[in-house]
Chain A
Amino acid sequence: MIGKTLETRQVGRRELIAMFGAGAVAAMGIGLFPRDAAADAKAVDAAIMKATGGKKTQSGKIKLDLPQIAENGNTVPITAEVEGDAGSVKTLHLWADKNPNPDIASFHFTPANGKAKVSTRIRLAKTQNIVAVAEMSDGTMYMAKSEIKVTIGGCGG
């Protein structure tokens, strides 16, 4: 936008400074989000590392059921299921990689659950990936990712 203005007309020095000033403020405003997002992507990796203890994760077993597009990021229904016999699933972690705080929840199952399937409603700040890691009772880890588009974010602000 600034570039275009520069091309189309002569701009006085003061104007230019004013424009860049405004631009800088805008950039700061916008800049906050990408920086946060980058930090969060790392935070998710760190959280995964912590949850898995650095173990390799395999794909499969986890089924994430969530809408492709969420109009309201304040309440997005999500259902997650980990295949396996009763008691074979220990914990299921969920993260949202571009939320201000990537943690969503950790669900701890017991053999008495019968199946490791949970449903809840979550908040999503913007279009992003939901990352799920399942910790099985035999120590193996499974990971799944699912992208979700969010029309209106749900983290206030």
Chain B
Amino acid sequence: MAKSKARVKVPKSVKKGEVFQVKTLISHKMETGQRKNKKTGKKIPRMIINKFVCQYNGKDVFVADWAPAISANPYMAFYVTAADSGNLDFTWTDDKGNVTKKSAKLNVTG
């Protein structure tokens, strides 16, 4: 399968203590396991991203378990409170164990 491309959006700079939104998007078919191959009539096996983790300076801040009901090219938005400048690291893991990583720098002022 084509390698998943991930995109994340975090504010360029935030004030300490501010609650900001993080938006993420990754390209993935999120095959449900329900669809059938029209030619052969066989079920196309399930292949989804089942885990999404966001770490803030090495600590898990948000974890999501996904089921096949999450749309293709999953979009995920959530909130984080700014503490210190550093990195937000995102990890997506699919059924085959493929891991896609992406990180974003966060600049916390004052």
**Interface residues, chain A, CB within 8 Å of chain B?**
74-76, 86, 96, 99-124, 154-157
Name the B residues within 8 Å of A108 (CB-CB). Answer: 62-65
Q: Are A103 and B69 also in contact (CB < 8 A) when A112-B56, A112-B83, A120-B77 are?
A: yes
Among the 9-residue stretches B1-9, B28-36, B89-97, B101-109, the one with 4 or more Cβ atoms under 8 Å from chain A is B28-36
Closest B residue by C-beta to A106: B65
Q: Are A157 and B60 also in contact (CB < 8 A) when A103-B69, A105-B66, A105-B69 are?
A: no
CB distance from A18 to the nearest CB of B (A): 25
Contact across chains for B68 and A101 when beta carbons are under 8 A apart: yes
Q: Is B80 an interface residue (CB 8 A)?
A: yes
Contact across chains for B71 and A123 when beta carbons are under 8 A apart: yes
Classify the interface of chain A: helix, strand, loop or mixed.
mixed
Instruction: Indicate which residue in B32, B59, B75, B79 contacts A121 across the interface (CB closer than 8 Å).
Output: B75
Closest A residue by C-beta to B61: A112
Q: Are A118 and B67 also in contact (CB < 8 A) when A156-B32, A156-B34 are?
A: no
Q: Are A103 and B67 also in contact (CB < 8 A) when A114-B19, A156-B35, A157-B34 are?
A: yes
Q: Are A107 and B70 also in contact (CB < 8 A) when A117-B78, A120-B77, A155-B34 are?
A: no
CB distance from A78 to the nearest CB of B (A): 10
**Inter-chain contact total with CB atoms closer than 8 Å:** 102
- Please give the number of chain B residues whose Cβ is less than 8 angstroms from any Cβ of chain A in the complex: 29
Classify the interface of chain B: helix, strand, loop or mixed.
strand
Contact across chains for A105 and B34 when beta carbons are under 8 A apart: no
Contact across chains for A86 and B81 when beta carbons are under 8 A apart: yes
Contact across chains for A113 and B80 when beta carbons are under 8 A apart: yes
Contact across chains for B79 and A117 when beta carbons are under 8 A apart: yes
- For B41-74 the 0/1 string (1 means CB < 8 A from A) is 0000000000000001001111111111111101
Q: Are A107 and B81 also in contact (CB < 8 A) when A101-B68, A121-B70, A157-B35 are?
A: no
- Whole-angstrom distance between the alpha carbons of A108 and B69 in the complex? 17
- Whole-angstrom distance between the alpha carbons of A96 and B67 in the complex? 11
Contact across chains for B71 and A75 when beta carbons are under 8 A apart: yes
CB distance from A109 to the nearest CB of B (A): 7
- Whole-angstrom distance between the alpha carbons of A109 and B85 in the complex? 21
Name the B residues within 8 Å of A121 (CB-CB). Answer: 70-71, 74-75
**Other contacts beyond A112-B56, A119-B76: 19, CB < 8 A:** A74-B71, A75-B72, A76-B71, A100-B32, A101-B67, A103-B67, A103-B69, A104-B67, A104-B70, A106-B65, A108-B64, A112-B61, A112-B83, A113-B80, A114-B80, A114-B81, A115-B19, A121-B74, A157-B34
